Amino acid sequence: MQTLKEVPVGKSVSVVKLHGTGAIKRRIMDMGITKGTEVYVRKVAPLGDPVEVTVRGYELSLRKEDAKMIEVQ
Q: Is the full-model pTM beyond 0.75?
A: yes
Q: pLDDT tens across 52-67, in order?
A: 999 999 999 999 999 9
pLDDT of residue 42: 95
Distances (CA, A) of 13 to 21, 23, 41, 64, 73: 22, 24, 8, 17, 6
The single-letter DSSP state of residue 61 is E
Going by pLDDT thresholds of 50, 70 and 90, the confidence category of residue 38 is very high
Task: Kindly list the structural domains of the chain, giving each domain's residue range(s) and its CATH number in brackets, ordered by start.
Answer: 2-72 (2.30.30.90)
